[in-house]
Chain A
């Protein structure tokens, strides 16, 4: 029996190629692990038949010597990705019963490379949330536990994070609009990278805020992130914002040599009231990179403070537009109508029943900031501030900085339900360190770097130059080697 807790994509790839294990065996082991992990509520649609068929096909390719890196690797797919014939609901009631007639570009590429889909993963509804508590499927639960409480795996890619951390799959797809890959990765002690905007096709990924959304891998370590990211990247004619440029060999970039690289430490990220544990983690990470030969430089990103408010104009504005398509006509849920109800009542009842409270709130905020008389005051102003936020980064990179080190989150994972009575802005603050990266379109990666006093994982974030994911991954790899994070959650589920 394979010890799933020790396996990575890289080691599974090598074992598969050597014939030490078959994809069918691996897949069956993971399907068994998933069946025993219902308490985590990470997998919300199970696809064992697809998984077994894909594994059998992968084994034939591997035997024939035609095996790309991801061939035979069992994965979980976030529910935001459209998968042909398989429920793809974005964790929303409004897409109840929706089975796409098409396959997203990302999953097409992964399947073409031989990857195996074990099922669809829990998430916040339409990726709007930071704790996986807005899902129509109920909360995903972190495999980490320190007392009686159930902890959040983070969000929106909470199911992906929980599944990878609990060894229910070798890797998972995530998406990141304001931190939805990096925050859950940090909360669960795994690695997650959001690539440069345009690196990965958005086609077939249910849209939240199109100018910010990017998909990326969530994996057990940096090497796996490099391998899986390469399989997800590439130009796609079906996404006009996807960049037509070659995809480098990210894994080959992992040399562990960062001598002379300039690492920026942004002073604006040292927030008032920041916890001592986070501050120490950040200082330790800085020392590790310095010891590895990097040059540490304090930098300034003066508009950091305005990133979150700008995001909470731009993202809801785009969401209100994107989510206008859920009208009960072409797909998904339609409300039962009363006698005499017309089409307007159909729209209004359908959307009131289908969307959860957080999605409704953001759609309405977006509607408001785009409405006549407020468009300039809110939406245009936010887009101007976004220009300034990106300029901050451009100037820092132009001055010779290669990557920027920050905390990934302001705290460790909190208890499910702990934020129930907090106002929405308290929840939004989870993304304070990650959201700037989406606004500037940059690549960002969360790497587990330590445990807090309670024994919960904490992550550091590295931000890279646009299109230089290879370099960024190499810095992350160096940090990972130095941090030596090996903690795993104790199985309780």
Chain B
């Protein structure tokens, strides 16, 4: 499948990665090449085959529904680019 510039723009938007307009055509071309490679998968007969959900036949372990850890506010905030009064600060979200 060939990816056009508009699709590349939409994908960049969905991925929340800023791509300048002049970089979009090259990006679209790269996507097309990679998707072209991926399209080999269409040659495979997958009728009646279940998509893999777990590579090891294992039921996920469960643990008791109890508090294991907590009161880690300082540690949790420690690496934040902008933390104030125990909150993560971000630009205004609601007008």
A interface with B by C-beta (< 8 Å)? 97-102, 196-198, 211, 237, 240-241, 243-244, 303, 305-306, 308-310, 312-313, 320, 324, 327-334, 337, 341-349, 351-352, 355, 360-361, 363-369, 371, 378, 380-388, 390, 423-425, 428, 439-441, 466
- Shortest Cβ distance from residue B58 to the other chain A in the assembled complex, whole angstroms: 6
Q: Are A310 and B41 in contact (CB under 8 A)?
A: yes
- Shortest Cβ distance from residue B37 to the other chain A in the assembled complex, whole angstroms: 5
CA distance A100 to B72 in the complex (A): 13
Using CB atoms, name the residue of chain A closest to B45: A388
Task: Give chain B interface residues in 54-82, CB to chain A under 8 Å.
Answer: 54-56, 58, 60-61, 63, 72, 75-76, 78-82
- Shortest Cβ distance from residue B14 to the other chain A in the assembled complex, whole angstroms: 5
Apart from A309-B37, A367-B15, A368-B11, list 20 A-B contacts with CB within 8 A: A240-B61, A241-B56, A243-B58, A306-B40, A308-B37, A329-B80, A347-B16, A349-B18, A351-B18, A363-B15, A364-B27, A364-B31, A367-B14, A381-B41, A384-B44, A384-B49, A387-B51, A387-B52, A390-B55, A424-B34
Using CB atoms, name the residue of chain A closest to B47: A384
CA distance A337 to B92 in the complex (A): 12
Q: Are B52 and A364 in contact (CB under 8 A)?
A: no
Q: Are A211 and B90 in contact (CB under 8 A)?
A: no
Contacts of A101 in B (CB 8 A): 72, 75-76, 78-79
- On whether A425 and B17 interact (CB within 8 A), knowing A309-B41, A341-B91, A343-B93, the answer reads no
CA distance A342 to B93 in the complex (A): 7
CA distance A394 to B26 in the complex (A): 42
Q: Are A386 and B52 in contact (CB under 8 A)?
A: yes
Using CB atoms, name the residue of chain A closest to B51: A383
B interface with A by C-beta (< 8 Å)? 3, 7-8, 11-19, 27, 30-31, 33-35, 37-44, 46, 49-56, 58, 60-61, 63, 72, 75-76, 78-82, 88, 90-93
Query: In terms of DSSP, what is the predominant structure of the interface of chain B?
Result: loop
Contacts of A344 in B (CB 8 A): 16
Interface centre among A196, A309, A381 (most CB of B within 10 A): A309
Contacts of B76 in A (CB 8 A): 101, 330
Q: Are A309 and B40 in contact (CB under 8 A)?
A: yes
Cross-chain pairs A/B with CB under 8 angstroms, 25 sampled = A196-B56, A240-B60, A305-B40, A306-B40, A312-B38, A313-B41, A332-B81, A333-B81, A343-B90, A346-B91, A347-B16, A351-B15, A352-B18, A352-B19, A360-B15, A364-B11, A365-B34, A367-B11, A380-B51, A381-B44, A384-B51, A387-B49, A387-B52, A390-B55, A424-B33
